[in-house]
Structure 1
Amino acid sequence: MSDIERTEFQLPSELLAGGRAPDSAVDPGVQPDETDIDQTLRPKSLDDFIGQPKVRQQLDLVLAGARRRSVTPDHILLSGPPGLGKTTMAMIIAQELGSSLRMTSGPALERAGDLAAMLSNLMEGDVLFIDEIHRIARPAEEMLYMAMEDFRIDVIVGKGPGATSIPLEIPPFTLVGATTRAGMLTGPLRDRFGFTAQMEFYDTDDLTRVVNRTASILGVEIRQDAAVEIASRSRGTPRIANRLLRRVRDYADVHAEGRVSLEEAQGALEVFDVDELGLDRLDRAVLSALVKGHGGGPVGVSTLAIAVGEEPGTVEEVCEPYLVRAGLVSRSARGRVATAAAWRHLGLEPPETAAGLH
């Protein structure tokens, strides 16, 4: 994502004439649309951020030390699975520093010129956030090395023997990189970050706090046992917890006048195919294909993907990480193997040879 575009608009004629807009336009009680809610749900400070206590403590020290010395903080790398709050943390860093935040993503930086355009527009102390930084193109990455270390870049003008390199000084800035695959980062890029934070999956207690906070912002009346139920099915991920709460809210609005009890939460999650372990339809299809279709394995990812009608990348990147973390699937040199817990989750008796039975 490049710099935010500015859009001009005209006020309605009745406002220009001094008249009132319709009540829905000025009533503070009117709920914002879903895109507004996405921004509202994001915490604005480290104190408001739920979970990740170690990362918050370390980051607070890094930022506080930089503020005391009146210098730009070291570059920061945020690593971890999707949905744990890396983008939100980058916004908080800029907020804590009182700086502007420029946002882009690795796939958007295909050429060195794309990065040079962003770097040349930075002001001193700005925070540049690059999401999925492991996917940045190699020419742009090599330009980033010099920018991170020396706060300058070399812009090549012309082609062939007549090409000229023009050094361009850029003001000190803080790069915040986010990656879901730290292992794909090149060594030279990883080494240029002064602080690396590893974001961990959330436990049920922290996710329950996330659900309660989101319910308060959305104006949802929810009981504590219902919040715990939603949190326990959220796969350790705040983004999923917020998404499930919205769907439970829809169900409660239709069936219970907006009040979310344990029964309403369970009923909604059943309707939306989320079981007690947080598995959705695709997860259960993969598990069923592994257990019922291939006797528990070992089976290759490509074979499982064909069985459920999905791409191998989808099975490997979307389903498999949680199935392995939940102890339902194990990986071996010969393929994926269903554990005894997977058999029992499907209501079947595991064979004597099932992984994890003894």
Structure 2
Amino acid sequence: MAAHLLRVALHLSPGEHFVYDSGGSHLLSAALQSRTGMPLPQFLEPRLFQPLGLDTPPWAPSPGGVSLGGTGMSLLTEDIAVLAELYRRGGRWSDGDGGDRQLVPQAWVDEATRAHVDNGPSATVDWGLGYGYQFWRSRHGYRMDGAFGQFGLVIPELDLVVAMTAGTADSASELQLVWDHLLPGVDRAHGPAADGAGDDQLARRLGSLELAAPEFLAAPPAAAARVSGRAIALPFTTLGIATATLHLDGDRTTLETVGTDGSVERLGAARTAWVPGETRLWPHPELTSTRTGTRAGWVDDAAFEVHEQCIESAARRIWRFEFGDGDDVRLTVGLDLPFWTPRTERVAGRLA
């Protein structure tokens, strides 16, 4: 990948025109690994993650084994807050035991977070205020900005950081909510309440949130007894599946797939709850498995759906089995991934 990027012709001089390009970031990762002999996460572990008290995050590699420099790092919301707070503090961090270290030079914090190139005008104002070294300038401070609405906002004038993880293609509206509702509520004079009442209220609110569930029939139709446990033979699919079988047991479901290579995967689901699990049937070859929560049920008398929600990303995959009067089955597998065009595959199968 790095060799390919270096062969791309430059049509303008550096700094002349802004183009968002993750390739340059990947070249930095490749250069670091070539020089140190360590992939980026391993290099950062003792220098950044451990001093901050963070576990080394999963970081997807390129086909050549180099950590993707411009994407692919999976962080908890709390981890994003820690990284944003590190920059708010000018790169300095206290370890809780009286130690205090300058993990990132103050001069680099200042240099990386100022605008180095004009990226405006833009239809969304916060994407047209200048770009630094991996940081975007905002109407208020600056930010780390990832796909699907992942943000680490640093607002120095309020001594404030805001961390957000989301699953949206409209991250501009998400950011606007912060400017319109959160910032006006910040008490610049007094800071947080001493009794922690606000923290308790926020914790209760967060604890009550849950992922919206798909709507299924309360009771299975007559077709359930006819199709349960019978393998559905499938033609070639990009998922590499030879057969799929629905094992139905009341509100519980197991989707069993047999790959064209003979591998077997069983995915548990329930009608009334998300069942945790993982799958290898995912369209990203750099991921060996993907953690999911799955629900399944009948949506009408002839159609059964399995909803796989990724736990560590915004993606959801939906398997829809439509059963005819005979043994014919129409299978639709859709991958709903905000920010990119949904991917759908439709195949005609047959009950064995």
The TM-score bracket by the shorter chain reads: under 0.3
Identify the structure with the greater helix proportion: 1
Relative CO higher for 1 or 2, CA cutoff 8 Å, sep ≥ 6? 1
Identify the structure with the greater strand proportion: 2
- TM-score (normalised: structure 2): 0.24
